[in-house]
Structure 1
Amino acid sequence: MSASDDGSIRQWKIDGEPVGKSWDGGGAVQSIAVHLDDTTVVSGSVDGRLRLWNVKEGSMIGDPWVGHNAPVRCLDWSPDALEIASGSEDGTIRRWNPDTGRQIAPTIKLKTSHGWIMAVKYSPQGDKFISGGDGPICVWSRDGKLLIEIKGHDAVVTSLCWSKDGAHIFSGSFDRTIRKWRAINGKELVVLRGHPNAIRSLCLTPNDCYIVSASSDCSIRIWGLKSNQAVGDPLLHDDEVLAVAMSPDGKCIASAGLDKKIYVWSLEAALERHQVGVLYVLVFPYPFLMVLVV
C-alpha cells in the first residue's frame, strides 16, 4: 500500500501491478496504517482527518474522523486492533475506537511537550505506546499516563520501532543517528552513525536481526543489530527517501520518496551480495510518498 501528496492511496501487487482504482484520501495523505488481518486501512491527511478503508472493496467506511486541527503525521493500530493512535502537527496524540470512529475516553486528548508528533507506536504487547517529535521520546501507558521521557537526540525524532519482546526502542532522527534505548528506563544503549543526512524512516526485520533506515541522503541502509554496523552498500534512490517498510515475511524492503517511485528490494540479495538492484520501480505523479508493505 502506498499514500502520496497527490491525495491518493494505492494498492499494488509485489510485481508492480496496480490493484483496483486509487482511493481519494481527502488531500495530501501524510500517513497510513494497515490492520493486522489486512482487511482495513486507516489514513491520515493534511486536513487533520482520519479515514478508515475497506481494503477488499476499496471504499471508505463511514465518515472521516474529526479531531485534529493540523495534518496527521503518524498512525498505529494497537496489537489487539481495538484502538488506533494518531499523532499530528497540532502537538497532540489521540486514540480512536475503530468501530465507532470516536475518540476513546477518558484520555481523549494527550497534550505532549512535542511541537509536532512525527511517530507513534504501540508496544508488541499492547500495554503501552511511544511517541516522538520535536521533544523527547515519550513512553505512555495504554491509558495515556506518561511513564518516562527519553532524551538524547539533538533534533526531531522522525521514526520509532519496538523490539519484538518490547524490551528495546529504536529511534531515528534529523540528527542523522539511529539510537537504541532500554524501554524500561530510557537508557541509551547504542548509537548508529553513517547517514550524512536526516533519518526519515525505520523498520525492523521480523527476526529483530536488522534495522533498515531511509534517509534524506537518498539512501537506504541495513544495519546488523549484533555488530551495530551497516551491512553492505547503501541502496540508492534518485532523491530523498521518506519511507521504508518491511514485508511481514522479511523477504522484501519497500521504499519511497521524492523521486516519486516505490522501490522493492530483496533483503536476501542485499545481505548475501552486499549490493542489490531495483526489482520493481513504480512511478507516481507527485513528489511525496508513504509506503507500507502488507
Structure 2
Amino acid sequence: MSFSNNSIRQWTRDGQPVGKTFDYEGGGVITIAVSPDQLMVAGGCRDGRVRLWNIKERSLSGHPWEGIYDGVDCLDWSPNGAEVAGGSQDGTIRRWNTTTGRQIARPIKASDKHVMTLKYSPQGDKFASGGDEDIVRVWSTDGDLLTEIKLGHSKWMWSLCWSKDGAYMFSALGDNTIRKWQWIDGKELVVIRGHTNDVTSLCLSPDGSHLISASYDYSVRIWDLETNQQLGDPLWHDDRVLVVDMSSDGQYFASAISGPDAKIYVWSLEAAFKRMDNDHVSMFVHCQCLF
C-alpha cells in the first residue's frame, strides 16, 4: 500500500492498482500502518486524527480517532491487533483500542520534540519511541517509562526495529549509522557503518538473521547480523529512499523513494541472497510510480 495527498492506494506485487483509492476529507495522509491480519489500515492525517479503513471493502470504519492535535508522524499496531499507537509532532504518544476507537489510558508525554518512530516489541509487552533528539525511550503497555537510552550524538532517529526475541533494538540514525542496543540497560552493542547519508528505515528478514536498511544516499543495503557486515552491493535507486518494509509472507521487500517521480520498488528476498553468490541473478521484481 502507498499514500499520497488525500488518498491511500493498494497495489499488486506486479505494480497494478487494486480497486479504487481509499479517499477521505481531512488533509493529507502522513503515515499508514496495516494491521497484523492484513484486514485494516490505519492512516495518520494532517488534521491530527487517525482514520481506519477496511481494506476489503475499501471504506472508512467508524469515526476518526481523536486526540492528537498536531500532525501524526508515525503509527504502529500491537502484535495482537488490539491497539494502535501514534506519535505526534507535539512530542506525545497516544494509543487507541482498534475495536472502539477510544484512547487507551492517558497520553504519554514522550518528548518536547517530534516523535518520528515507534515500534511495539514482537511480544507486545512494550514499545519504543524516538525522533528529533538523541534519545530512545522504552515504555510498558501501562505507559510507564522502562528505559531511557542516550544515543550519545546530536542527530535524530528516523526508524526503530526490534530483534525477533525482543531483547535488542536497532536504530536508524541521522549520523549515517545503524546502532544495536540492549533495551534493558541501554548498552550499545554494535555500530553498523556503510551508508553515506541519513539512514531512514529498517526491517528484519523473517528469520531475524539479516537487517535491511534504506537511506538518503539513494541505496538499500542488506546486513548480516552475525558478522554485522554488508552483503553484496548496495541496491541503488533514483532518489532518496524513504522507507523499506517486508511483505507479510517474508518473500519480498519494498522500498519507496521521494522526488517528483516517486516510486515503489519491489525486491525478491530469496533472489537477493542468491545474488550474493551469483551476480547474474536478478532480484528486482517491479517498480511502480506512486502518482
Q: Normalization by structure 1: what TM-score?
A: 0.92
User: Helix, strand or coil: the match of 2:21?
Assistant: strand
Shift, 1:233, TM fit: 0.9
Shift, 1:166, TM fit: 0.7
Shift, 1:178, TM fit: 0.5
User: Helix, strand or coil: the match of 1:104?
Assistant: coil
Unaligned regions of 5+ residues in structure 1, if any?
A: 286-294
1:63-95: per-residue Cα shift (whole Å, max 9, x none)? 211211221111111112221100011111001
* Contact map agreement 2:269 2:283 (CA 8 A) in 1: no
- More relative contact order in 1 or in 2 (CA 8 Å, sep 6+)? 1
Matched, 1:280 2:282: no
* Contact map agreement 1:153 1:173 (CA 8 A) in 2: no
Which residue of structure 2 aligns with residue 16 of structure 1? Answer: 15
Residue identity in the other structure for 2:204 = L
Which residue of structure 1 aligns with residue 240 of structure 2? Answer: 240
Residue identity in the other structure for 1:149 = E
Shift, 1:27, TM fit: 2.7
User: Helix, strand or coil: the match of 1:185?
Assistant: coil
Which residue of structure 2 aligns with residue 134 of structure 1? Answer: 132
* Contact map agreement 2:92 2:111 (CA 8 A) in 1: no
User: Helix, strand or coil: the match of 2:226?
Assistant: coil
Matched, 1:117 2:94: no
User: Helix, strand or coil: the match of 1:102?
Assistant: coil
Count of aligned residue pairs for this structure pair: 282
* Contact map agreement 1:117 1:132 (CA 8 A) in 2: yes
Which residue of structure 1 aligns with residue 203 of structure 2? Answer: 203
1:108-155: per-residue Cα shift (whole Å, max 9, x none)? 211122500011111111111100112310000111100111112521
Structure 1 ranges of 4+ moved more than 6 A: none
In 1, Cα distance between the equivalents of 2:139 and 2:247?
27
Give the % identical residues.
Answer: 57
Residue identity in the other structure for 2:187 = K
User: Helix, strand or coil: the match of 1:271?
Assistant: helix
Shift, 1:7, TM fit: 2.3
Shift, 1:271, TM fit: 2.0
In 2, Cα distance between the equivalents of 1:29 and 1:210?
31
* Contact map agreement 2:76 2:118 (CA 8 A) in 1: yes
In 2, Cα distance between the equivalents of 1:236 and 1:116?
29
1:266 to 256, 268, 271: 268
In 1, Cα distance between the equivalents of 2:112 and 2:231?
33
1:6-61: per-residue Cα shift (whole Å, max 9, x none)? 22211111111111111125432221111111111111122211000101000011
Residue identity in the other structure for 2:40 = T
Shift, 1:277, TM fit: 5.2
Shift, 1:250, TM fit: 2.1
Residue identity in the other structure for 2:129 = S
In 1, Cα distance between the equivalents of 2:118 and 2:147?
15
Residue identity in the other structure for 1:121 = K
Residue identity in the other structure for 2:189 = L
Which residue of structure 1 aligns with residue 166 of structure 2? Answer: 166
Any residues of structure 2 matched to 1:6-85 within 5 Å, and which? 6-24=5-23, 26-85=26-85
